Structure 1
Amino acid sequence: MQTVPSETEPKRRTAPVRGSAARAGRVSAQAAAVLVVVLLCLVVVRLPWAGDLGMHAATVQRLRHNLAHPGNPLVDADTPSPYYSPWMLLLGVVAKLTGLSVFVVLRLAAYAGLGLLVTGVLRYVRTLSTHRAAPALALLSLLFLWGPLLFNWSGFLGLNSLALTVAYPSVVALGLAFHFWAWLTRTLRGQAGWGASLGLGALWALILLCHQFTGVVASLGALATLLAARPARTVLPRLGAGLVLGLLVLWLWPYYDFFALFSAGADLEAIHRPLYQDLAARFGLVLLGVVALVLRWRRDRRDPLVLFFVLGALVFAAGGLSGHYSWGRALPAALIPAQLAAALEAVSAGRRAVRRGWACVLLVALAVGAWTQVGTLGYVLGRDALPGAVAEKYRTPWVGYQWIMRAGVRYGDVVMARTFPARQIPAYGPYTVAPGYPDVFLKDAGRREAAVERYFAPGTAAAQRRGILREYRVTWVVAGRSEAAPWLEKTAAGPGGQVLYRVLP
């Protein structure tokens, strides 16, 4: 007798297929995330130089020579510096005890920062979703969901930006921030004890000391978490005690006055104005995350990611409207929750068809973002090994100034140089006349910058130039081939037509 199939049989047959597709998607996302992390680990081997790496290397140099009184990291002056954070102090101790070169120590720091970031994202995302693919999708969204115009800045988690800043304290601070949010979320869901509250306060202060701008982002995320959790009144005194402890740590930190930074914003506005330019091209793909946030808000009016985004967007907008462009460094407080929401919607949307559709859109957006940043491969393979279209997106790192050290420049020597070389030369131990970066605690920074401009100005008299060299105890000059003077002796030639001159007595 022929058996008639029941109506439930097709469902039994398709369920394994659907399960297999879900597993394939999860495994693909996890494999992609692992490959990206491996790529970043390989980038650390070469440690491409751009931006502020010289500042951080100089900071480690000063600490390895004098942990108690390192002085200004860039110029020969006895001033505090916000770069002397607990993290950089630890790196200085490692360099001093092991004798490792500063750049080896920075590579170790890069691996530590990358580990903190990846594990922090994993822990925080697990407080938002139990789906096994969520952490991998979240990491991919944080790295690739940006825009078609390449954007690099410390504290911003695009893949190319992270490749160039992976040894910076901002990466460590971001990693700690994700751990901070995860710990705070779990603490508020349970009974917040005194130990956990005090620990959270100490961690909050550590983040602020390591990278002040990321500390602001961490604070906004913590506030959003508190508003979303609506903790019981009995918990508030313990959290308040943690806040007081954090403020006490900030006040007692001996290497610089943390609270003095609040009056230093005027010196930082010009350098941060570009954060408000080309927003659509740099961050356009994040709009997918904004849509996801709207969907989350419709499901839960106190969703922590929605509140986090709103707080970050308000601070960023206030900075642009008021001319306080340094407030633009709070933008990750809007980007991070939107990027996470975009990833989570692919695993948490209500109907399966909606989730699949969202996952397809997310995949396309991630592919666009990945293509924008594909030049990052050049930091591992080299430009010549890249296909033509990929090589066009590669940005050559800075060469560095090792050549002046081989020519006889020593630790503590003062070098007269323009701004670009002044951002790299202190990394090897010498000082420059003027700092290559804004320095809020160096009172005569403007005078030093003016002195450098006068020295290199064509119309400056010989006696005045000689006087500038004597005033700042300059022993070397880095300039072009045409920098001829009776008190200078050509010592070495470097890349790009640069020449190292010794200052004669």
Structure 2
Amino acid sequence: MTGRLWTTRVAALVLLLLLLLAVVRLPWAGDLGIHAATVERLRHSLTDPGNPLVDADTPSPYYSPWTVLLGCVAGATGWSVFVVLRIGALLALGVLVTGVWRYVRTLSGHRAAPPLALLCLVLLWGTDEFSWSGFLGLHSLALTVAYPSVLALGLAFHLWAWLARPAGRWVWLGCGVLWAVILLVHQFSGVVASLGALAVVFGIRAERVAWRWLGAGLGLGVAVLWAWPYYEFFALLGAGDGMNAVHRSLYQDLLGRYWLVLVGVAALGVRWWRDRRDVLVLFFALGAVVFLAGGVGGHWSWGRALPAALIPAQLAVALEVVGSGRRAVRTVWACVLGAALVVGAWAQAGALGYVVDRGLLPGVVEAKYREPWTGYHWITPWVRYGDVVMARKLPSRQIPAYGAYTVAPGYPDFFLRDEGERVAAVRAYFSEGAVGSVRRGIVREYGVRWVVDRGDGLRGVGGLAVVARGPGGEVLYAVVR
């Protein structure tokens, strides 16, 4: 048993080292641009940062307690937002690891349980590559480790640990505040945290729950949400349908992405047989109901609740391996889980490319590697903070990270009322048949100073001058007034 414990610990440490190296490299992909832009706006103005992506005075749900803290660090130190995001990623990763450790210790006293649970959370997924914020797979974490979702999930594990062992009224009140902070930091992970908290409370014997103080803590949390000054939290309750299109893919290729988790579902069945009020079974049921309801009702954004079903299944199988049952049964669980973890690790081996040079990877591993984005640092010698850049959707996801604004946001923005007009303006500007007067009118309306486009599609367009050329054939044009 001692050898198995050390093997588990070493494997978990290797995974953590890999994630720490990913923090150092900080691969450019996904939503990194919006989070960098948010910190950049807060660095310049904590009280009135405006929209993080476009030159508009609107609130934004990205202004959370976490990004405000990072903005304060950036403003006080003068460090670049990418340095600050790396520091934030280190802290968030520490919160996640300690949170998993604490919560698993409420479920098992075995010393191998926490490191084995970490391995399951990171490797027990499927064989099709999948990355999304709020999902703890290795490939996903390597790309999203600097995102607020990692901190929010880490805090969620701490919340569940405190709820599982309530010690008094101050713990209940503190849990209410922590619940609100999680929801403010990352709303989708806040849903997962809420479902897990419900499962913990439902699983506790009624006589151990101080219902009065639980209600007081819940009320205090609602008050924190209501009082948050950067955006109206409860207005987001009507924003889900506006994000359906971007989330529809969460309901595709489910078997390929998650089939290894079926080992954990089997473990949940065993736990349910032993205890009908098992906390992990309740947690899984709540998450599965929300996910399935979203699929049936066409509310694709509800798919972000899927980790509420994955996490308890992943934890359940880890706990069965170290359980107190017969040794032969534990051995069978260990063999099955060991094989599943090896398959899961191989499926996500492409994440190695985010911490070592691609050329150093074996050919079979290199084939699994996905090239990160190159970024737009090459425009910064000319484009200054607050300048407006006309760009298509993908560049608009990255350019604000360097301090500039774009005409249309690269991400759906619930609080930006003229988002549709801005998207239409970008489409009209880049259309092949656009006449000069239309382009000039758009430039004047949005105060455009620069244009970024791929290739020479804008060559010969009046009012533009080539300033620089970047990776992938992209061109930076200055607007000549």
Per the normalisation by structure 2, the TM-score is 0.99
Other-structure match for 1:492:
468
Q: Quick check: 1:502 aligned with 2:478?
A: yes
Letter in 1 for 2:262: L
Of 136, 139, 151, 1:160 maps to 139
Describe how 1:400-439 pairs up with structure 2 within 5 A.
400-406=375-381, 408-439=382-413
Q: Would you identify which runs of 4 or more consecutive aligned residues in structure 1 move more than 6 Å? A: none
Deviations 1:382-433 (A, max 9, x none): 1100000000011111000000112x10000000000000000000000000
Letter in 1 for 2:447: R
| Separation in 1, partners of 2:209, 2:338 | 45
Q: CA deviation at 1:449?
A: 0.3
Q: Quick check: 1:170 aligned with 2:149?
A: yes
Letter in 1 for 2:125: W
Letter in 2 for 1:462: G
Structure 2 gaps of 5+ residues are none
User: What do you get for the CA RMSD once the two structures are aligned?
Assistant: 0.8
Letter in 1 for 2:480: L
Q: Quick check: 1:383 aligned with 2:358?
A: yes
Q: Quick check: 1:212 aligned with 2:183?
A: no
Other-structure match for 1:3:
none
Q: CA deviation at 1:481?
A: 2.0
Other-structure match for 1:311:
286
**What SS is found at the alignment partner of 1:415?**
strand
Other-structure match for 1:398:
373
**What SS is found at the alignment partner of 2:165?**
helix
| Separation in 2, partners of 1:234, 1:419 | 50
Q: Quick check: 1:106 aligned with 2:85?
A: yes
Q: CA deviation at 1:265?
A: 1.2
Describe how 1:112-261 pairs up with structure 2 within 5 A.
112-187=91-166, 192-232=167-207, 235-261=210-236
Q: CA deviation at 1:119?
A: 0.5
Letter in 1 for 2:433: G
Letter in 2 for 1:285: L
Q: CA deviation at 1:486?
A: 2.1
Q: CA deviation at 1:377?
A: 0.9
Letter in 2 for 1:504: V
| Separation in 1, partners of 2:282, 2:183 | 21
Q: CA deviation at 1:466?
A: 1.1
Pair 23,233 (structure 1): closer, same or farther in 2 beyond 3 Å: closer
| Separation in 1, partners of 2:456, 2:97 | 47
Describe how 1:275-294 pairs up with structure 2 within 5 A.
275-294=250-269
Q: Quick check: 1:325 aligned with 2:304?
A: no
**What SS is found at the alignment partner of 1:436?**
coil
Letter in 1 for 2:391: A
Other-structure match for 2:421:
447
Other-structure match for 2:438:
464
| Separation in 2, partners of 1:415, 1:328 | 33
Describe how 1:364-379 pairs up with structure 2 within 5 A.
364-379=339-354
**What SS is found at the alignment partner of 1:259?**
helix
Describe how 1:18-29 pairs up with structure 2 within 5 A.
22-29=1-8
Letter in 1 for 2:143: L
Deviations 1:175-210 (A, max 9, x none): 0000000011011xxxx4221111000000000000
Other-structure match for 1:478:
452
Describe how 1:352-367 pairs up with structure 2 within 5 A.
352-367=327-342
Q: Quick check: 1:262 aligned with 2:237?
A: yes
Aligned length: 479
| Separation in 2, partners of 1:382, 1:153 | 23
Letter in 1 for 2:403: G
Deviations 1:433-481 (A, max 9, x none): 0000000000000110000000000011111011111110000000132
Q: CA deviation at 1:230?
A: 2.8
Q: Aligned residues: percent identity?
A: 66
**What SS is found at the alignment partner of 2:30?**
coil
Pair 349,280 (structure 1): closer, same or farther in 2 beyond 3 Å: farther
| Separation in 1, partners of 2:446, 2:207 | 60
Checking the alignment, whether the CA contact within 8 Å between 2:436 and 2:462 is kept in structure 1 is no
Checking the alignment, whether the CA contact within 8 Å between 2:202 and 2:279 is kept in structure 1 is yes
**Larger C-alpha radius of gyration, 1 or 2?**
1
Structure 1 gaps of 5+ residues are 1-21
Deviations 1:251-310 (A, max 9, x none): 000000000000111210111010000000000000000000000011111000000000
| Separation in 2, partners of 1:412, 1:209 | 26
Checking the alignment, whether the CA contact within 8 Å between 2:201 and 2:209 is kept in structure 1 is no
Deviations 1:297-338 (A, max 9, x none): 111110000000000000000000001111110000000000
Per the normalisation by structure 1, the TM-score is 0.94
| Separation in 1, partners of 2:90, 2:198 | 29
